Structure formats: C-alpha cells, structure tokens
Amino acid sequence: MKKVLIINLKKADEILLCGHLINSLKKDAFINDGNKDSQNIEIEMLIYKEYSNVAKVIDGLYKLHSIDRQEILALKQNSLFSDSFALEAFYNAVSPLKKDWDTVINFSQDAVANFLATFLTNNKTTSSFIGTRVNEYNVIESSSYWTAIKHETLKSNRPHSFLHSVELSHLACVLPIHAAENLLISNPKHDITAQENFEKIREDHQNFGNEIRIVGIKLKGSRKIFDLSFETLKETIDFIFDDVELFPILIISPDDAERKLAIDLNKEFDNKLITVEADYLALSSVLKNIDILITPDSPIKHLADLSSLPVIEISKDNNQFFSSGTIGHGNLILSKCQNNYQEDIISGKDILLALDVMLGKRNATSIQLTPTISLYQVNNSNNKIFYEYLAGDKNIFNEISRYMTYYFVHKINEPQETKTTLLDIPHYMCTNKHQISSWIDHEKSLVTDITKSLLATLRSLKKSQQDKAHARDFIVALDQLLSFAETEDLMQIPLLIFKSKIENLTNTTREDNIKTVEKLLYGLKNDIQHAISCVYELENFVRKLFNDQLINKNKNLESIHLMDINRREAINEL
C-alpha cells in the first residue's frame, strides 16, 4: 500500500484543483500496480479547517487532516491565553502526520506549507518529496524544475501566467493527466431530490416534446471584483429565457448578498426564475443534473470540471485563468484582452454568443464580440492544458509571449534523446507578422542586454577571485543581472530560476560560494541560449510561413494571369 500525503494550505479553488492530481495519482497507481486493485494507494490531505467542506466532496481521499488556523489565531491574539496554547494547537494539528510516507507532495507551496513540509519530512523516513520546502539553512529547496517554476512565478506575480496549475502539478509528480470523470462525492439523498426536481423542470418546460437544456448561472464570483454586473446577468438570463431550447437556473451559495441578488433578479422576471441554493456537497448533486454552467471566476467551475460538466467561464482576469481557469476539454472562457476589473464590458450578448458556440449553433469565426473581449477554448489533451484563442480581440504580443514561455519550459525539460516538443504556433497567432516580429525583436534585444550583463558579471567574478577588492564590482554586476528577473518576458524564466538558486546558496565559505555562482552563471548562459534558440525557431517558422504564403499568393496571381491570357486567346480565336 502506497501512502501519500498532500499538503494543500490554499483556498477552495486550489483544493478542488488538487482533485485532478488525486485522480491521476489513483489511476496511475491502478495502472502501474497491475493487480487491478484501486485501493493500492492511500492519499491523505492536509488543509485549513475552514475548507473541510470543500475537500470532503473530492473523491479518492483516504483521510483529511486540518489545521484550525482561526483557533490558533484566536489563541495567539487573545491576551487571556499564553502563546503556549497556540503553539500546542498547531503542533497537535500537524504532529500526527509526522510518520512514514511513501510520498509527500507540497501542492500549495505557500510559506506555511514550505516549513511544515520540512517539519513532516525531516525524519528521513519519507521516500520521496515533491514540491518546495525550507532546508536547514532556512532557504527554499525545490524538488524539481517545475516546483521551482511554481515557487518563483508565485513569488514574482508574473502578469502573463503561462502554465496551468493542474499541468504543473502533474509535471512535478511526473504523472500523466488522467481525464476527470465524476470525481465528486455527493449525498445520495441530495442526488435523488435534485434528480426529481430537475426532471420536473424539464417536463414543465419542454419544447414541443423536445427536451430542453438547463443552463446553470452562478451569480457571484469568489471575489467581488470578479462579479458580473446586474445588467449583464439580467441580459444573459433574458437571452436564455427567450431560447425555447434552453432554461436558466440561478445557482447561489448560502450567502446573504448572493441570495439578495437572486431575489432582485427574480423580480425582473416576475418571479419566474428558479434559484438553487447549495453548499459544496449539495452542489455536487445539482451539477449532475444541469447541462451547461455559466460562471464568473468562482470555485464552482472546478467542481464542474471534476464532474465533467461543460463550463463557460467569464474571467475578468486575463492572466490568472491561464493558471487556474476551467480545464474541461472544449470549455470556453470569455475574457478581456486587458485586465480592467472596474469596467464590466462583457455583455449578456457576448455570453450568449459563447453559449451558441458551445452548443454548436454558431461557428466561432463568425461571431462578433464586444471590442476588447476575447473567447478562448480549453485544449486539454496529450497531458497539456492550454487556452486557444477562438474569437474576438486578441493581443498577439501577449499570446506569443505566453505560448513561447510555455514552449520554452517544456523544451528545456525534455530529455536530450527525445524531441517530442515541437513548435506548433497556433494559426491565430500568425495573422499579424508585424506584431510577431516586434516580439522577436524585443526578446532579441533583451537577450543582448542580458548577455552583456552576464559577461560583465563573469568578468567581475574572475577579477574578484584574483583580487578581493573587486568583490564590490561583482556584487553590482550580479545585482544588475538579477534585475532582469523583473522583466515580464520569456527571458524572465531562466533569470527567475537563476535568481532562486543564487538566493538559496548554502555554502559557508566565500570560495565555495564563488565556485557555485560561477557554475550557476554558466548554467544561466546555457538556459539563455536555449531560450534564444526558441526565439530563432519562431523566427524561422514565421519566415517560412509568410514565405509560403507569399509563394502561394504569387502562384495564385500567376494562375490568374495565365487564365487571363487563355481567356484572351480564346476570345481572339472566336
């Protein structure tokens, strides 16, 4: 029996996203074990107590452990109690987990989890550790390139997220992404009630004997800034009501503000709307009975993914959905080209168009979205998760930057002997040669600056080895080099990894440190070369593409010219 502990000290979204990893761990153990016993792995998870109700709906967990941080905070802050109570409450929550594990996965990689990971695994009895943890020198250690990427991108708040957290966690665990099929636990009683109620809705609203599709609309996002405006919601419901093949259901969580919003919306429709109020456990039953979910950024999209329900996500955050959006293959995301939380410009019409695309009523190429709105589709296949642009406005510069960063991190990690990662620029990115060229020029110029800085750092390092008086020059040069880790481009990635290694130097002598830094600088040089080779690859790809297009164009012109000559000759003959 393989025993696995997952540390996940984040919010509801991350806990539900972890459901995919749990599913893959179980299925992989099942496949690898060969004895066809799905119970050959026991997965336990450590979470914060306030998210117990979320974690309880994930299928495949053997045991759940929790830290009551509100209790610990209350004990720590209240002058009635000595701090020993807070300390012991924390210890009581985690010390039972200090035992022999086959694998410990630090999924959340947040500051608390990084310390706890070491507390729980430094007894040397854990066979394998995946994630980040704080070592004895109080610096972060990463188990792999992927966990380092997660740690550094979390820290840097990189604006263009490029790798989905589910893909990242699978890469870190060297696991294939297994498809999610009904990974939610539900209450059988709720299931029966929900099924009966929804069957009644389908009967009452059937369209001349044809079955209707029920569209669930989640009213509020996980944060206020993600909410859709009242007008947008009203417009969306209105459109769905008008469609005889569809029927809207409002989905709300047990929350006063959302309840009030549902009441206000219902008034606009003469109280004809049906509202379903459900907690996480009840939601599992509800989601089984609807056909499509429309939701702003909220944990319900992850619940829907775990139950394989088609989702249209309305994301006001163009960057974050690339790392934490819905991941069901074929699902759609409506977003803005630029982040602007204040202005609610995604209209009900945009949502309806996305719905039509999902239902196959319209082709994505034919729809006209509100300016600055983009429609993306989830491509979750071959162990990769990427969001492909479908319609609306697009920012080619950002798209290329995101795609190339994604390509680079996969390319640099693939084994020398296998060349499976191929540059396959999606067609929509190749529509504007000028913008692609501008991105390539930008990266090349950045590489020139970084290379100069890198060489200057190496030179000053050599000098400081010979004469300690030059140590200051070396520090200045290194500082300047590290400042490139603040950029928001492809080249940021090798610099981020380099920076993390520099920050985590644990050597005790100056000589050892200098040797390690020198080695790291050469490593950075290699990574930069890899990155620039990706840029050249793109340049060649685009050049070939546009040349081919030009040749085809010329061929077309030639054939038109020939046709013209033939026609004239025919006329003359006549």
Q: Would you tell me which residues interact with other proteins (CB under 8 A)?
A: 67, 69-88, 90-91, 94-95, 98, 110-112, 115-116, 118-119, 122-123, 134, 136-138, 222-224, 255, 257
- 547 burial (CB, 10 Å; 0-12 / 13-18 / 19+) is exposed
| Residue 362 to residue 373: CA distance in whole angstroms | 17
Between residues 223 and 544, which has the closer beta carbon with respect to other proteins?
223
Q: Which of 222, 432, 190, 409 is nearest to 317 (CA)?
A: 222
The DSSP line for 501-552 is HHHT----SHHHHHHHHHHHHHHHHHHHHHHHHHHHHHHHHHHHHHHHHHHH
Judge whether 358 and 292 are in contact, CB under 8 Å.
Answer: yes
Min CB(312)–other proteins separation in Å: 24
Between residues 235 and 258, which has the closer beta carbon with respect to other proteins?
258
Min CB(66)–other proteins separation in Å: 13
Between residues 116 and 409, which has the closer beta carbon with respect to other proteins?
116
Min CB(50)–other proteins separation in Å: 9
Between residues 70 and 206, which has the closer beta carbon with respect to other proteins?
70
| Residue 511 to residue 518: CA distance in whole angstroms | 11
Residues 6+ apart with CB under 8 A from 7: 45, 46, 104, 105, 106, 107, 108, 113, 116, 117, 120, 131
Between residues 68 and 356, which has the closer beta carbon with respect to other proteins?
68
Min CB(516)–other proteins separation in Å: 17
Between residues 79 and 365, which has the closer beta carbon with respect to other proteins?
79
Given the structure tokens 């206000």, which residue do they identify? 264
Min CB(12)–other proteins separation in Å: 11
What are the structure tokens assigned to 443, written together? 């990266």
Min CB(135)–other proteins separation in Å: 8
**453: alpha, beta or left? (left if phi > 0; alpha if psi -120 to 50):** alpha
CB atoms within 10 A of CB 115: 13
**β-pair type (311-315, 140-142):** unpaired
Give SS3 for 315: strand
Helices (H), 4-157: 12-33, 52-55, 69-77, 83-94, 111-121, 145-156
Q: How far is CA 156 from CA 132, 149, 165, 223, 455, in A?
A: 16, 10, 16, 22, 25
Min CB(369)–other proteins separation in Å: 29
Residues 6+ apart with CB under 8 A from 521: 454, 457, 458, 461, 498
Min CB(340)–other proteins separation in Å: 19
Between residues 82 and 559, which has the closer beta carbon with respect to other proteins?
82
Min CB(339)–other proteins separation in Å: 16
Judge whether 490 and 535 are in contact, CB under 8 Å.
Answer: yes
Between residues 94 and 337, which has the closer beta carbon with respect to other proteins?
94
Paired strand residues for 134: 140
Between residues 76 and 444, which has the closer beta carbon with respect to other proteins?
76
Judge whether 26 and 172 are in contact, CB under 8 Å.
Answer: no
Min CB(141)–other proteins separation in Å: 12
Exposure string (b/e) for 325-359, b if CB count within 10 Å is 16 or more? bbbbeebbbbbbbeeeeeeeebbbbbbbbbbbbbb
Rg (CA), the chain: 28
Between residues 134 and 237, which has the closer beta carbon with respect to other proteins?
134
Between residues 45 and 309, which has the closer beta carbon with respect to other proteins?
45
Judge whether 544 and 536 are in contact, CB under 8 Å.
Answer: no
Min CB(123)–other proteins separation in Å: 8
Between residues 70 and 448, which has the closer beta carbon with respect to other proteins?
70
Min CB(105)–other proteins separation in Å: 17
| Residue 514 to residue 495: CA distance in whole angstroms | 18
